[in-house]
Amino acid sequence: MNLNHAFYDTDIISAKTNTFHQEMGKLIYYFSEIMRSTEFKTPELLIVRLLVAKIISNATAANILIYDECFKEAHMILRSALETVVLIAYLINFPDKTEEYLSDAQILKMKNNFIVFKETREGECSDINGQKISKKALEEELVRCFGLMTPVSQSRILGGIKETEFKINEQIIQKLDNFFKKFKPFFMRLEDMYKEIDNKGFKIDKNFSLRDTLYCFYNGSSQIAHGCFLD
């Protein structure tokens, strides 16, 4: 009897999972159709469009995992979607921060490139063909990437290290190291964004702050992502 009851419970769970998966699929479809039929005429709205597309992509991936009953993995992916929800709400309330957002994203990528350059020993790094990459080649790539950045991003880095030209030497490496250690994009500071959005008077259903609405799910999802995987 207990075994049959266990199977019965499993069947109920599977049926509910399938229903939820189908409803999620409908929502994803409807939002995708709205995106396709909506014009995003300003640069600020084009950024929002890209971020909404990311949420749809996250939700689609999570829904596949939900169908396979990989609920914790779905939690982790939806954590990414929730962070993007906060960012969209922030940029809609503060459209003048869009340029800073793009600049922060570029500087973060440059920080990643710098870390690769700084942490790689001579001959340690190789390309897809197995050819060893010299430290000099990494240095040249770093300078090339800087040249691809927007003038705003370039000015922020040069201003931060108090230099007029981006080049690589021991002194500038130390300055860049200090600059990047202190650098943290505003879109990675969720609590700060929550507060600013709340101060703007933004509410969900006229009663709830964005943080009130999202925090519990986001907190649990973060704990799963960081290793709290077992019940």
CB 82 within 8 A of CB 214: yes
What is residue 76's predicted lDDT score, i.e. its pLDDT?
A: 95
What is residue 16's predicted lDDT score, i.e. its pLDDT?
A: 85
Query: Is this structure's pTM higher than 0.75?
Result: yes
CB 73 within 8 A of CB 225: no
Summarize pLDDT for 164-184 with one digit per residue, the tens.
999 999 999 999 999 999 999
66-95 b/e with 16+ CB inside 10 Å = b? Answer: bbeeeeebbbbbbbbbbbbbbbbbbbebbe
Distance of alpha carbon 213 from alpha carbon 205, whole angstroms: 10
Summarize pLDDT for 139-159 with one digit per residue, the tens.
999 999 999 999 999 999 999
What is the gyration radius of the CA atoms in the chain, in angstroms? 23
Distance of alpha carbon 165 from alpha carbon 212, whole angstroms: 46
Summarize pLDDT for 54-69 with one digit per residue, the tens.
999 999 999 999 999 8
Helix ranges (DSSP H) in the chain: 2-37, 43-67, 71-93, 98-119, 135-148, 151-161, 170-182, 190-199, 210-225
Whether 224 has a pLDDT exceeding 70, the answer reads yes
Query: Between 231 and 20, whose confidence is greater?
Result: 20
